[in-house]
A and B are shown apart, each in its own frame.
Chain A
Amino acid sequence: MADTVAQSTMNQRAGMSLRTRRILTHAGIFALLLLAWEIGSRTGLLDPLFYPRPTDILASFWRVYVTQGNIWFHLYASLGLVLAGFVAGSIMGIGLGALVGFNPLVRRFIKPYVIVLEATPRIAVAPLLIAALGFGAQSKIAIIMLVCFFAPFINTLSGVVNVNEEKLELFKSLGASKMQTLRKLVLPEAVPVIMAGERLALTAALSGVLVAEFIQRDQGIGSLILTYTRNLNMASAFACIFTLTIIGFLIFRFMEWLDHRIAFWNHEDGLNRNAQKRQARWSKKLATA
């Protein structure tokens, strides 16, 4: 134990300088790339119409966020849709996945449809959804739900189906009811797999909202990108795209953080944190006893 602690601090100390060196190297390379882009764009080596100068993109960032401030409205609209579609798609995916997983009969009958649905690109159905639900938030959310649904569905299904046989036998030998087995064993055991599905779903939701807004260009970041591109204002279009990059990255980190919280037992930091928390809760319980 003392050994590993000493080792990790040693690694940390050695890693610090290594890490700063690495960061500096990456920053240097990135700066060089930007510089090359800037020069290429200025000298006409890169067509400035399609590859606007980095400095212009930076200026566009300033404009869309500060002086004009027009991106906020669209960002707000898009993210609202992402959230609504993601939550609705997840609930449907996890719910149906659990339902199908628990019921062998339903599973057998639904399997062929799942395979067909999986092989069909979900986006292809988007125009049909608009035809059915009309223009507006409803059909946009439906499109996002459609792209969000599948990963949680499949993952929940497989998580529920692939419960450890020995643990099931343990619950049986303890005389556990079906409901107890479900609540205390099957669902918690499926949590890490479900979380992995949710990660995929949220990333898919971001693509989904863009598709929805490319089709219905009334508002949202997707429609803004289209508008800028049509007006040949590529610098502003890039500002929108890089905004999405940042959002995508934040989503990734957020889901990672959430996974460490919810499926804590798969991560060392989560184990240590929760062990302390539970000890505190327990000593309170035992003290009052």
Chain B
Amino acid sequence: MEQQAIIEANDPGTAVVAGSNVGKTFANGTVVALDNAEFTIPKGKFVSLVGPSGCGKSTLLRLIAGLIAPTSGHLHVHGTQVAGPRQDVAMMFQRATLLEWRTAIENVLLPTEIAGNVEDADRERAMELLHLVGLGDFAFSFPAQLSGGMQQRVALARLLQTGADVILLDEPFGALDEFTRERLNVELLRIVAEVGATTVFVTHNIAEAIFLADEVYVMTPRPGRIAKVIDVPLERPRELAIQTSPEFNHLVDEARDVLGAH
């Protein structure tokens, strides 16, 4: 099992995250949060989950994170069943959830501290990551001294510090203003490309979902399910300007049709 997982992870094109018949119900089965989700996410791909509230996008993300257990079906990451939070999967939330009594770099090092001892190499890595997210000069600032956008950058660096190659983002820039969010999205693409992570990104913004992703899972509520998977063939690296292109708008219409028809 272990051996197989390693082989699969090193083979590009194989599924890093795979779900078969994944379902989750709440309140003794009366609320179907996610119904029969079938999907495979290949290594290094960026998948967006988009849909209105109640469509199960956050539920699916938390299932992959191992924060909740599915009521039915199987969920695998790197070939092993998800049985709880794991080292190779890391998650980022809508709010930065930084510890206010720690400086930026100390926050970035939190995952390392929890996993074991902090070595000099970890400290250097944390500093590199802060540079990667554009906060090299703010390593010793406390969260209260940083803007909302900067706090999310620290949270992103902290997520990368885990060393996980599957990263889950739950509306990570949803609480920020439009300009900051667009800028951070462009940077996010640069950063995940650089570290080669497999990414799942939750949003309720169709344009944002398409702009970022290789594949968009359009999800609909009652019961929450993946209604359609839209392939996004747009070239990378992407600039914000592609959002005005006809191809882009065609994809937006395609997603909107699914959501509108529901």
Decide if A and B are genuine partners: yes
Give chain A's interface residues, CB within 8 Å of chain B. 164, 166-167, 169-176, 180, 184-185, 188-189, 191, 264-266, 271, 274-276, 278-279, 282, 285-286, 288-289
Q: Check A170 against B97 for contact (C-beta < 8 Å).
A: yes
Q: Check A173 against B101 for contact (C-beta < 8 Å).
A: no
In the bound assembly, the distance between CA atoms of A185 and B102 in angstroms comes to: 11
Given A184-B113, A275-B145, is A173 in contact with B65 using a C-beta cutoff of 8 Å?
yes
B93 interface residue, CB < 8 Å from A?
Answer: yes
Q: Check A289 against B120 for contact (C-beta < 8 Å).
A: yes
B100-115 interface bits toward A, Cβ cutoff 8 Å, 1 = contact, 0 = none: 1101011000110111
Q: Check A265 against B144 for contact (C-beta < 8 Å).
A: yes
Give chain B's interface residues, CB within 8 Å of chain A. 65-67, 84-87, 90-91, 93, 95, 97, 99-101, 103, 105-106, 110-111, 113-115, 120, 123-124, 127, 139-145, 162
A15 → B minimal CB distance (Å): 24
Residue from B86, B114, B127, B142 within 8 A of A180 (CB atoms) = B114
Given contacts A175-B86, A286-B123, 13 further A-B contacts (CB under 8 A): A172-B67, A173-B85, A174-B85, A174-B90, A174-B115, A184-B113, A265-B100, A265-B101, A275-B145, A279-B139, A279-B140, A282-B123, A285-B120
- The interface residues of chain A lying within 8 Å CB-to-CB of B142 are 265, 271, 274-275
Q: Check A184 against B114 for contact (C-beta < 8 Å).
A: yes
- The interface residues of chain A lying within 8 Å CB-to-CB of B101 are 188, 191, 264-265
Given A169-B93, A286-B124, is A174 in contact with B162 using a C-beta cutoff of 8 Å?
yes
In the bound assembly, the distance between CA atoms of A167 and B93 in angstroms comes to: 10
- The interface residues of chain A lying within 8 Å CB-to-CB of B90 are 173-174
- The interface residues of chain A lying within 8 Å CB-to-CB of B139 are 279, 282
Pairs A–B under 8 Å by Cβ, sample size 19: A166-B95, A170-B93, A173-B85, A173-B90, A184-B110, A188-B101, A191-B101, A266-B100, A275-B142, A275-B145, A276-B140, A279-B140, A282-B123, A285-B120, A285-B123, A286-B124, A288-B120, A289-B120, A289-B123
In the bound assembly, the distance between CA atoms of A172 and B114 in angstroms comes to: 11
